[in-house]
Amino acid sequence: MKLQLLNAGWFTCPYGLMRQGESFEEPFRFPVSAFLIETGGQRILVDTGLNPAAIADPGGFYGQPEAMGLFGFEQERSVADQVDLETLTMVVLTHLHWDHVGGLPQVPASVPVVVQRREWEAGHDPEQVQSNFFMPRDYERERELLLVDGDHDLLGDGTVELLSTPGHTPGHQSVRVGEVVIGADVGHFAASFEDHRFPAFAADHEAQARSAQRLYELREGGLTVLPGHDPELMHPGVLTS
């Protein structure tokens, strides 16, 4: 089983927005990651990075100049520049934020998208769209869907397991690939699993703390747990082969 980390862009925003206790005056540049899992006949993309069409003007692209005006986007290569998206067997979305779902419009509609049912429903509820800063433009196209409820053995052989880790968003999930856990935004930084200095916003900070504790315990148990946006750790390359 091969697991690869891809860089799918960068966003810059006030540091304090993404890490409690830091300054809102200081900008911070966050890497945006996607992952490719290859095992047996499967080619599974986990998250899709930033939308290439949104790079130049995120506020204008999403029609949200106020919220998105806080963010600068950069992208050297989209997921489409790095992976033949036609050959994917599945896309797993950890959650529906624009830095994880932005590349989805590039993926053929016939490739099944796997997401927690709770997240998908929140992403189609106007109130929750607003409170969670979802940008439905990235996931509004009709697609093949696999909606799951809670933990889920994705391939039925224990190799790839979806872990329910809600809090950052209503139906956030992490993905265990062998000995590696793609934690996504349960914690933006490696330290977040202990210090719980989460972003200023969340669907439910208490649930996020419980999810962080869950992943912390997996890390203590010997698994490698990857945070969502830690520039010290999220380097592109093959993680396991």
Q: Rule CB under 5 A: which residues touch Zn ion?
A: 99, 185, 228
Q: Which of residues 101 and 148 has its CB atom nearest to Zn ion in the complex?
A: 101
Q: Which is nearer to Zn ion, 185 or 230 (CB)?
A: 185
Whole-number Cα distances in Å, 118 to 123, 201, 203: 9, 18, 12
Which single residue is written with the structure tokens 């380097």?
Answer: 235
Q: Minimum CB separation from Zn ion for residue 43, in Å?
A: 23
Instruction: Decide whether 138 or 185 has the Cβ nearer to Zn ion.
Output: 185
Which residues, 6 or more positions from 214, have their beta carbon under 8 angstroms from its beta carbon?
Answer: 163, 165
By C-beta, is 119 or 158 nearer to Zn ion? Answer: 119
Return the C-alpha torsion angle 182, 210, 207, 119, nearest 10. Answer: 30
The nearest distance, CB 110 to Zn ion, in angstroms, is: 26
Q: Whole-number minimum distance, CB 198 to Zn ion, in Å?
A: 12
CA 131 centroid distance within chain = 18
Quote the radius of gyration of the chain (alpha carbons, Å). 16
- Smallest separation (angstroms) from Zn ion to the CB of 25: 22
